[in-house]
Amino acid sequence: MPSLDQALELKRSGRLDEAVIALEAVLGQAPGDGFALGHLADAQLRRGRVDEASAALERAEAAAGTTAFTARLRGDLLVKAGDYPGAAKAYADAVALGENGCWSLIRLARCRLRTKDHEGARGAASEALERDPRSAQAWTVLGDLAFKEGKLDEAETMYGRAHEQDPADKWAYAKLVEVRLKQLPPERREREMQVLLKTTGRDNEHLVGVLAKLRRESGDDEAAARAWSERAGRTGDLFAREQAGFALRRAGRLAEAAQVLGSCLVDDPDNIILFRTYVRMQHERGALEELRATLDKAVGRASGRRRGAYLGQLRKLPQPEEGEGVAPEPGRALER
């Protein structure tokens, strides 16, 4: 029988499947252990098992009440669901309940940034820096704020501080490069980026994303799709695959976009923007059997709160003629 300490060590080392088994064994002996339940929720969320994480979190809070840890986990779950206002409230609760460190403050700042609450985001990031002036992530949030407000000199300063505090932070460095490129004439930007990608930035996948953004801004969505596809090929990055599909759609290459976005939807079934975009595009193309096949693959992997949307779309599709041998009836994938 593993101990709780052994289960937590498995979780810390990234052996999440084993950690879940160990935590469930611990809970078999002490089913009301709120601390173990909270860590089970965290491990399930990190495995991408949203429904299981949500259930464990409900049990944890029923057993021991809301703590800073469970409030933070609820924020993480709500971010996964795209509920940024709800996530912001959860992270604010975590801070109010005494969470140490900067994690919830930085996540709170990012959620407020997503909901266009710039002053709230600035306040949370500044509070994070009061706790840890070396937090590269907090400096990056302040850079993002300045960038969105068109204050490029200030954004460069903030990103520069982030890079100084953590030179290994590839995201902060990519943002620093992006804001510097924005201050160059448009015709020089891609040339400078190509030089960087062949030299000091060749191992930074986020710089390929910056290149894709530059190409989109110049109106070349096909070239943007190639950049995102290159990044996805190098890293297996789901976000880059999704962006490649969106770029192909903007470029009018709908059959290729459908193939890319359909495979992404199966791997990321809770992404509501991806779901809506793919469904609308396939209806516009008249590719309803292709849509049916993709939705039937994805429905069994969607979390409970999203599964109804899949079943609803499947029921709206025309029923196939008998004997065509197409995908099973709506929802039958759940029975497999």
Q: Express each pLDDT in 53-97 by its tens digit.
A: 999 999 999 999 999 999 999 999 999 888 999 999 999 999 999
CA distance 290 to 84: 32
The token duo for 319 is 């029923």
CB 55 within 8 A of CB 308: no
pLDDT at 237 over 60: yes
Q: Could you tell me what percent of the chain has a pLDDT over 90?
A: 87
CA distance 182 to 155: 11
Q: Which amino acid is at 113?
A: L
Instruction: Report pLDDT for 321.
Output: 63
Find the mean pLDDT for residues 210-224: 95
Distance of CA 232 to the CA centre of its chain: 15
Residue 284 class from Cβ within 10 Å (0-12 exposed, 13-18 middle, 19+ buried)?
A: exposed
pLDDT-based confidence at residue 333 (cuts at 50, 70, 90): very low
Fold of the 1-65 domain: 1.25.40
pLDDT at 171 over 80: yes
Reduce the DSSP state of residue 253 to 3 states and report it. Answer: coil
CA distance 308 to 75: 22
pLDDT at 172 over 70: yes
Q: Which amino acid is at 75?
A: G
Buried b / exposed e across 133-145, counting CB within 10 Å, b at 16+? eebbbbbbbbbbb
CA distance 271 to 310: 12
Instruction: Report pLDDT for 322.
Output: 56
Give 252-290 pLDDT, tens digit per residue: 999 999 999 999 999 999 999 999 999 999 999 999 999
Rounded (to 5) percent helix, strand, coil in the chain: 75, 0, 25
How many of the other CB atoms lie within 10 Å of CB of 195?
11
CA distance 149 to 121: 13
Mean pLDDT, the chain, whole residue set: 92
pLDDT at 131 over 50: yes
How many of the other CB atoms lie within 10 Å of CB of 16?
18
Give 11-55 pLDDT, tens digit per residue: 999 999 999 999 999 999 999 999 999 999 999 999 989 999 999
Residues 6+ apart with CB under 8 A from 36: 4, 7, 23, 26, 27, 30
Reduce the DSSP state of residue 8 to 3 states and report it. Answer: helix
Ordered by start, the domain boundaries in the chain are 1-65, 190-244, 253-336
Length of the chain: 336
